[in-house]
Structure 1
Amino acid sequence: MTDLRHDESIRYAMHKETVVHVSEVASGLGCECVCLDCGKPLIAKKGPVLVHHFSHVAETNCDPTPESLTHRFAKAYIARELRALEPQHEVRIESRGLEAWARAPAQWFIGYVADVEPQEYREKGFIPDVVIARGTRKLAVEVHFRHPVPPGKIALLKKRYVHAVEVDLSDLPDNAEPEQLRTALGDVRRWQWLNNQSGLANEVQNQVEGSSKTYIPPFAQVNQQRTPTCSSPQYPHNKIAEAEACVAAADTWVSQSAERRRPYSQLAPAMKLALHCHYLGLRPKELPLNLMQTVHGQSLLGRIHCMYWQTWFFAKFCIGTVPVDLRVVERAARAAYPDLRSLRATLQTDNGFSPTRQLFYEFLLQLAMQGMVTQQIGPKAWLHSFTPRARAQVEARGLLLNGYFASER
């Protein structure tokens, strides 16, 4: 048995068809491991002084590089976990002076099966690092450890209509520990799309075409004597125009005595939006993107456009410093929108949330990924709490708009 010096760099091996780190197996020949490169038996050397590593049992010319072994472990770990992150995806389209956009939030794609370097793709001219499948849906995953995905391979991915993402691990050391890799793979900032055929662009194009048929200029003259109504809920431009017309009325509403105020729940949606904007120090056309996010799943707030309830939500819960849980948010939503049938629903979703809580939970997760709130896991799913960080994040990024946080000054 020969102990070759270059063997000290071997930290990963194959154990019963699973790629493992030397820390995960028994010492000596009891590790039952073979070399990832040559397939010959290895011995795990885990003495009190030596750096723990594998060594070939018999003399060999095999000399695997640490980076190739770490790269293989990363691919095997993704396949074993059966999940990869689908990063946030945003599409913007301009047509006839109108702009529409849609955003699909980042989410984990959980598969049923996964293959490392599946040969079935060879006929297409490339072999992905990992392919995760769930039914007919497949997602290719490329691991960028020392070499990014070449442009030619990306072109083939797009040509063959293959959904593909890349995870960037290039800043990790050659002999990265398993915990380093697991932490890095769980970081949403490291993932990016290589090719996305989600159909989101068609959705946005249809939105632009629909809006262009009923477009109202943002500062259209509207009779201030009547309370504007939201006659076309599906068109954001109508909503913005009506909300702009309500700003002056909102100023009057705020200045009136409490006895003369009309109950908030009885106000028209456009008037509510004007009040939210007044509180945030914004005009409806200045809404930042984090207040216009598309929350996927069941439309639990009926016909209310996202910018109505998201500005209300942000103004009420995301500017202060007091943590809130989903029960608090749901009670406030019932008070703000008491006429909505969906808010009176008591059915539970698959993950244990009521429909209303599910909607706000998805929105809060998106804000958490953007650094606007921090999440604390509670003993039960609906007791997860979220602490606002919006002021610090917005100021740190230089995005502070005029009077954006005037209510706290």
Structure 2
Amino acid sequence: MSSISALSRVPFGQKSGRMVTPVEVESGRACNCTCPGCNAPLIAKKGEQNIWHFAHDGLACAIGAETALHLMAKQILADERSVQLPAVEISLSATDALGKLQIVSAVLARAVNVKYEAVEIEVARDNRRPDAVGSGRGLSVEHRIEVFVSHAVDPLKASELEASDCACYEICLNDIPVQTTIAELRDAVTAAAHRIRWISYPGMATARRVLETKLQRLLGDAVQSKMEQDAHSAAVYASLDEEERLEKANRARQAREKKQSEQKLARANDSFKGTSTENKRAFLHAKLRLPAGTVPVILNTRVGGDRSFGVDRDVWQSDIFRKCILGGGHREIALENVLGWMQLRYVVSPEFPNAANIALWKYFSSLESSGFVRHIGRQRFLVLRDVAPWLDVANEIVGIWFWAPGAFFCKREELEEANIRGNFGLTSIALASILRRFHAEYLADGEPEDAAQSISQLIEISPMIVLNLLEEAGVVSNPRK
């Protein structure tokens, strides 16, 4: 839909002081409705192809649709007088000195389906005017209600409301499509507890202070425990001889690096899982170095169950190709491990039993047909070809270069030997610079070509010489050579 068409469409109109749907009025100009945003006349569009809606009878305004959603939501509150409310819960967290996440929480009220006796719209309370106020004999306090379509309650206002000890919640409708139906909007307003955010509640400020005190006590206990552990470790460390200390320190370093690596990977997977489909696609296109506007068939293969991962098939197939195929050399892949990895990065909701397993099997079968893998029994495949075809013309140096396994453990002596074998004629200072730079690129998850380019600028030699030297030392490899 064009932006002009989207602006001209208004889901609900205003007539005789009330919001109405296209169903309730005559077609065309006979509806006698106006735009709630600009008060201009509306036309009721009740065709057979599009969802029934209103359109401006002339130039469209920019706020009609959002204003219509906001006003209709308040009208639904006043008419229905019923809302499914979540529990009122406060939770505070912090990481203590031992690296453990400490969480303290308190529940001030249980989840409930409240039935208001009255809902007033836009009435003043404490020099403020909430969108609605619900009250009834069954409530200990009245509920102030805010409707979030385009503007949420800001932090300053939230702090002031909490300090006033009133009960206030916000109904979040910012992701509701403009062309929603009245039934969908009614459900979102009255029956979707996950859309409601409690902003303030009687006793919330006091409970927060109690939780803050409790959290600070836990953090202080952790500091004391850390000091005691450090003192104990220092005493034990002092009793060990030099060899034992070095061995223990090495094991501790490896364990620490492994844990940090696992935590970094978990954070990366969580971040990837939570971002939008378009952000996922942009990240993968950059990693795969896909030409702009191009998605090869091998990354967009129609297979059974391809909707099981909550994104378009080109996204999850690109991710699998990047992780399992590209640049890894000949190795075995178990589909059960691939599925476990996918569950960390996507919301896996199979459209039918075993759909996710079937989608993976079919996709790897298509990779086998294209010569990338070979089935070697059960749910296992062997990678035969780890280079992307579209990179044959994308690389400006020779092809696509990959870090060799164990590249980080390359020593300066190995570079010096490679320098002699390959007759490159590089000085010791140049070799030291190359060693430092490729270690830095390797740790930063950079590409060999990036390391070669930055080294060539640093010591003024050809990036091709750098790559050939690293290849001679067994640090990088180029499958196309």
Q: Aligning the two structures, in what range does the TM-score lie when normalised by the shorter sequence?
A: 0.3 to 0.5
Q: State the TM-score, normalized to the length of structure 2.
A: 0.34
Bigger-Rg structure (1/2)? 2
Q: Which has the higher helix share?
A: 2
Q: Which has the higher contact order (CA 8 A, sep 6+)?
A: 1
